[in-house]
Amino acid sequence: MQLKRSKFEINLNPIQRGGILTKEAREALIEFADGYSVCDFCPGRLDLIEKPDIKKFVHEELPEFLGCDLARTTNGAREAMFAVMNSLKVAEKNKSQIVLADGNAHYSSYIAAERAGLDIEIVENSGYPEYKIDVENFEEKIDLNKPVLVLLTYPDGNYGNFPNVKKLSKICKNKGIPLLLNCAYSMGRLEIKLNKLGVDFLIGSGHKSMAASGPIGVLGFNKEWEKIILRKSRYFPNKEIEMLGCSSRGPSIITLIASFPIVRERIKYWNKEVEKARYFSGEMEKLGLKQLGEKPHNHDLMFFEAKPIYEISKKHKKRGYFLYHELKKRGIGGIKPGLTKNFKISTYQLTKEEIDRVVKAFGEIVK
């Protein structure tokens, strides 16, 4: 079987823009492509390997980057969420079995909770058109449910909204409930520091936002949680149970490390990314589309309601697929074939020229 991928000159798919590999990562990927090749010099646990220097990355660079004491890599953001939830389930047997999450939480947050045998309660968003999370609404629900964990998505993967995490961390501290911040769409794009935000757990996704091939997740927390999250096996006293001994043992961690110097640098230019996103949103609205979610927008992920395009699709012989084909002709991809009414776009790391090319394409299509 020939495995080929059709690529576009400009890819607008939000889940892919932050995971595009750096040149350094692409080279490292080939170097460590063979199975278990990261384990050549393993002293007994993945995060302790010094050749290549995973130890320095996990024990020094990541905690410093995240402003916390400890970090681990997992096989994805969802696995990191599961590790926290499962640890709390085991450690807090006598507490409630509820995770209280924001209404914009990713589906994998629900499934992680289910896998850990926990129930989910939700703090609803404000609905159309901004779908905002008002963190003050957590207070009452915390009193009502006494959750074992509060989960906030920062930002969410639908609208790219940033809820007020600092306010929520104060509420959670007051109530004595740990707070997990899901930064799958932010860690690696902008500065995320655990101690500044006042949360207990930070979750990231290497293939979503850290220029890694993945699948790989990042988990950061402070020492107070070490005994619970990094509890060791009874049978293999060196191995951490939630990591199943060793987690991301392959090219996933190699590409994450290889891209890290560039990722650490690129977060300094986040305000430029926000400017570009706002410019794009404004131009699309001039064409009659409507950006949902927070306005002015604070993230490169944007959800559009595209009534003019939907109207065209009703009369077009290709129906809903016409948008995909019209964009494809112009070298642009990343919107799912068939979608016209609503779709998500990211402008992350596109140049101004590329953004203008996309705007021009939509302008021609709407006309």
Ligand X SMILES: *Cc1c(COP(=O)(O)O)cnc(C)c1O
| In contact, 109 and 80? CB cutoff 8 Å | no
Task: Kindly state the smallest distance separating residue 69's Cβ from ligand X, in Å.
Answer: 23
- Do you find a cis peptide bond into 63, omega within 30 degrees of 0? no
- Which CB, 104 or 169, lies closer to ligand X? 104
| In contact, 208 and 15? CB cutoff 8 Å | yes
Which run of H or of E encompasses 128? Answer: none
- Which CB, 13 or 96, lies closer to ligand X? 13
Which run of H or of E encompasses 352? Answer: helix 352-366
Amino acid identity, position 347: T
Residues that bind ligand X (CB under 6 A): 76-78, 106, 108, 153, 156-157, 182, 184-185, 205, 208, 215, 217
- Which CB, 73 or 340, lies closer to ligand X? 73
Geometric angle at alpha carbon 270, from 269 and 273, rounded to 5°:
105
- Which CB, 301 or 309, lies closer to ligand X? 301
- Which CB, 215 or 334, lies closer to ligand X? 215
Contacts of 235 (CB under 8 A, 6+ apart): none
- Which CB, 108 or 281, lies closer to ligand X? 108
Task: Kindly state the smallest distance separating residue 66's Cβ from ligand X, in Å.
Answer: 16
204 by DSSP, 3-state: which?
A: strand
Task: Kindly state the smallest distance separating residue 186's Cβ from ligand X, in Å.
Answer: 9
Helix residue ranges per DSSP H, 92-185: 107-115, 137-145, 165-175
Task: Kindly state the smallest distance separating residue 70's Cβ from ligand X, in Å.
Answer: 19
Joined tokens for residue 221: 């927390």
- Which CB, 189 or 326, lies closer to ligand X? 189
Task: Kindly state the smallest distance separating residue 247's Cβ from ligand X, in Å.
Answer: 12
- Which CB, 89 or 189, lies closer to ligand X? 189
Long-range contacts of 139-143, Cβ-Cβ distance < 8 Å, separation of 24 or more: 139/171, 139/175, 141/100, 142/100, 142/171, 142/172, 142/175, 142/177, 143/175
Task: Kindly state the smallest distance separating residue 181's Cβ from ligand X, in Å.
Answer: 10
Task: Kindly state the smallest distance separating residue 215's Cβ from ligand X, in Å.
Answer: 6
Task: Kindly state the smallest distance separating residue 322's Cβ from ligand X, in Å.
Answer: 28
Residue 140 has phi, psi (to 5 degrees) of: -65, -40
DSSP string, 16-68: HHTTPPPHHHHHHHHHT-STTGGGTT-SSSGGG-TTTTHHHIIIIIHHHHHTS
